Amino acid sequence: MGGLVDSRIFWFPSRMKHLIAALITITLAGPAATACGPDSLGTSRILTVAPKAGAHFGTKSYGGTLPLQPREVVLTFDDGPLPGPTDRVLEALAKECVKATFFLIGRNAAANPAHVKRIAREGHTLANHSMTHPWTMRTISHDAAWKNILEGESAITTAAGSAIAPFFRFPGFADTPALLDALDRRGIATFGTDLWASDWNVMSPETQLKLVMDRLRKANGGIVLFHDTKTQTATMLPAFLAGLKREGFRVVHLRAP
């Protein structure tokens, strides 16, 4: 039994101040959509994003973001997979029947194909975060950066044994106009974020939880960036998911067509 489907066109202002479009299908997660218990946070709905030219999402970098309602949250994780922290992140998500998008580094995917398959098997979305995470793509040639993007896509696809979502996030959000144009031409949506947990900085799980919840309350929802390679994030995540439920936030899952 599936959810209800509502298909429509959403328009977003781009960084170049012209209107762009991405076709997004909304699927509402019905009671039979998962085997979750009534006390789990769950996933409230699915956004199926079919990227078109200029599909760039996340207010930290771009002029628009996903068509989220107030108090809706999209969970994203960068840089994995990494045995240990990634396993704990997946366990926390599974316990609450929550789905997320994982922007993987190609070399990490190649080194840990079982984890890539597990992420996909458990219903999460696989996406590309480059092959080697150059710091940054603005400091290397266009050709080298584009090659790194394509190699990342190939490595993650090989590790998964199936196609991945046509979604890309730049390492350090360091895009260039030429790379954005190349991604647009290839039919790949570019994701920034609306807020982040700053978990690249060392802090206690308790400090990180307070920081991200404060930011989420202020933003009233949005795309959230974590790193599933960070032990502090893996430790913090169960309390974060509990906080989302307690404060009435709802999780939205991204999916490719």
Output the pLDDT for position 190: 97
Output the pLDDT for position 7: 33
227 included as an active-site residue: yes
Q: What gap in Å lies between CA 44 and CA 60, rounded to an integer?
A: 24
β-strand pairing of 222-227 with 72-78: parallel
Q: Are 242 and 64 in contact (CB under 8 A)?
A: no
pLDDT beneath 70: ranges in the chain: 1-35
Output the pLDDT for position 53: 82
Q: What gap in Å lies between CA 56 and CA 227, rounded to an integer?
A: 21
Which residue type, as a one-letter code, is found at position 249?
Answer: F
Q: Which one from 78, 79, 184, 228 is the annotated catalytic residue? A: 78
- Cα 115 to chain centroid distance, Å, stands at 17
Q: Which one from 175, 227, 228, 253 is the annotated catalytic residue? A: 227
Full set of structural domains in the chain with CATH: 54-249 (3.20.20.370)
- Give the torsion sign (CA, 119, 122, 124, 125): positive
78 included as an active-site residue: yes
Q: What gap in Å lies between CA 182 and CA 190, rounded to an integer?
A: 11
Q: Which residues on neighbouring strands pair with residue 76, listed in sequence order?
A: 101, 225
Rounded to two decimals, the pTM is 0.89
Output the pLDDT for position 38: 82
Output the pLDDT for position 49: 92
- Cα 14 to chain centroid distance, Å, stands at 20
